[in-house]
Structure 1
């Protein structure tokens, strides 16, 4: 192979660009490895089926622990309700409080037990909070079977490179070292 003047310079310029690309790819890969993924936490307050009415309300408390959470992305409250079999229409009213705020929800039970979504209660839960409490009562009487709180949160994280990415980084460093040795043996600095 005949190398014309400047041929090695072009070769090394290509190698420098490849090394820069490899280093950038390794840095991006290491950063992506530490990215946090959303997780779900569910709190249950299941109770034996009870009959609830305006004069015999049922209370619930849903406990959660936000230690290690970076944020709470969504919070949905469900009540398990059902018609007690009589022919009267019933409506359930739920009073829920947490994080210094309160909300009142209205829903209508149906003939079989169903987990009714009361919608978002994100304004009632917060990092550092520990519980969401509520009372279920209604017009008429109906069956109540418990409450469920579903929280989607982002965990706190510390980027930890995975083994495959460390191998890529090591290979890149070896390539850089090999090029330096090759350049030194050719008399280039």
Structure 2
């Protein structure tokens, strides 16, 4: 009978430092390590590369050890698919940290069966709450006008707003400027920046 260690993280940005700390005595003793690449939490344990390799090398009576339960399974469907395989092959599954430490999660007694199912339901609830909070955050950001993700380079730029004339908005500022300088204000309706055309007299 031998101990076999399984490590896994969900994304490439995560590390297994905390898991290795929890499994430090077993690592120091030379227990073989099986690492699963970053995979979605929705992928069943039995479909993960690292765990599949572990199952191909274990023998009856071996113990699979993980740092915490979430490293191996995260849903009711996962644990319901995994437990029968471990029980049928005579394997043990133990968590090294947390409330479940020291308990054989592959045991087939009624108490362990009930506890494992409750644990799986809690983990699935936790994962669903994280997804729901993420969706709500995205909706709130979009409602406030924030743009999420990368900007589309082909999206046309918004139209530029006209700049107001000095001293006020539009022609009012121009007329006030003319009065301050002792000039005759421009005729109503004439564009503020349109100078008088040559050859025409400005109407009084």
The two structures have a TM-score, normalised by structure 1, of 0.25
Which one has a larger percent helix, Structure 1 or Structure 2? 2
The two structures have a TM-score, normalised by structure 2, of 0.24
Which one has a larger percent strand, Structure 1 or Structure 2? 1
Higher relative contact order (Cα pairs below 8 Å, separated by 6+ residues): 1
Structure label with greater radius of gyration: 2
